[in-house]
């Protein structure tokens, strides 16, 4: 479990990979972007939980990303418009 926080003003190339168990402001920002794209995270608790993972996997599937793994890396950040 990764408990470190990320500053949301970091360039996307420096963003950490987000996955199940991550906690922080960057997860809150991810929730905001998922909501904006209508992918079901209705309230942010700053935790990347199983619901967040499922929403990310759905986003990855619908957007035909190479990896559908529920992990937010460079490709998913880019598809969400976070890069």
pLDDT of residue 11: 58
Mean pLDDT of 1-19: 63
State pLDDT tens for residues 15-37: 999 999 999 999 999 999 999 98
Q: CB count, 10 Å around CB of 48? A: 25
Query: What is the chain's length?
Result: 83
Task: Judge whether 10 and 3 are in contact, CB under 8 Å.
Answer: no
Q: How confident is the model at residue 4 (pLDDT cuts 50, 70, 90)?
A: very low
Structure pTM?
A: 0.82
């Amino acid at each position: 479990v990764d408990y470190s926080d990320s500053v949301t003003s970091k360039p996307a190339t420096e963003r950490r990979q987000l996955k199940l168990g991550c906690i922080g402001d960057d997860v809150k920002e991810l929730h905001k972007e998922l909501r904006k794209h209508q992918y079901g995270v209705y309230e942010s608790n700053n935790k990347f939980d199983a619901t967040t993972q499922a929403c990310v996997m759905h986003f990855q599937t619908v957007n035909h990303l190479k990896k559908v793994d529920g992990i937010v890396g460079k490709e998913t950040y880019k598809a969400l418009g976070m890069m």
